[in-house]
Amino acid sequence: MYNLIAWHLDGNESPIDATIREVKEEAWINIKRKDLNFERVAYSPLWDGREYIQFYFSCRNWSWTIKNMELDRCYGMDFFPINNLPKNITPYIKEAINDYINTINYSEY
């Protein structure tokens, strides 16, 4: 299933810094802090008692040739038009994209 690039904070790291780091580590894309726009945050409690807070950013300017840097975890990467997404998207990511389209900045899963 398709997902978005995701991350955990490495300690002493902001969500923006983690986004920049992970995008580079996972997809070989270089982005700059000034090009990231905060879009939304989501809260997700899990069945085992853990809780996640997910930050979503958009980026309209980057330098790249997309490259899958995690072949052991990811079968492929691609960009899709937001109005023509594939059917096999992780459900919570599909909800996050719909919230983005509808300018909903906070949700709970």
- Predicted confidence band of residue 79 (pLDDT cuts 50, 70, 90): confident
Q: When comparing pLDDT for 32 and 60, which is higher?
A: 32
**pTM assigned to the model:** 0.86
- Predicted confidence band of residue 76 (pLDDT cuts 50, 70, 90): confident
pLDDT digits (tens, 9 = 90+) for 37-67: 999 999 988 889 999 999 999 998 988 778 8
Average pLDDT value for residue range 18-46: 93
Which residues are paired to 43 by β-bridges? 53, 108
Query: What span, in angstroms and rounded, lies between the C-alpha atoms of 59 and 72?
Result: 26
Q: Is 33 helix (H, G, I), strand (E, B) or coil?
A: helix
Q: Which amino acid is at 85?
A: L
| Alpha helices, DSSP H, located in the chain | 15-27, 91-101
Query: What span, in angstroms and rounded, lies between the C-alpha atoms of 15 and 78?
Result: 23
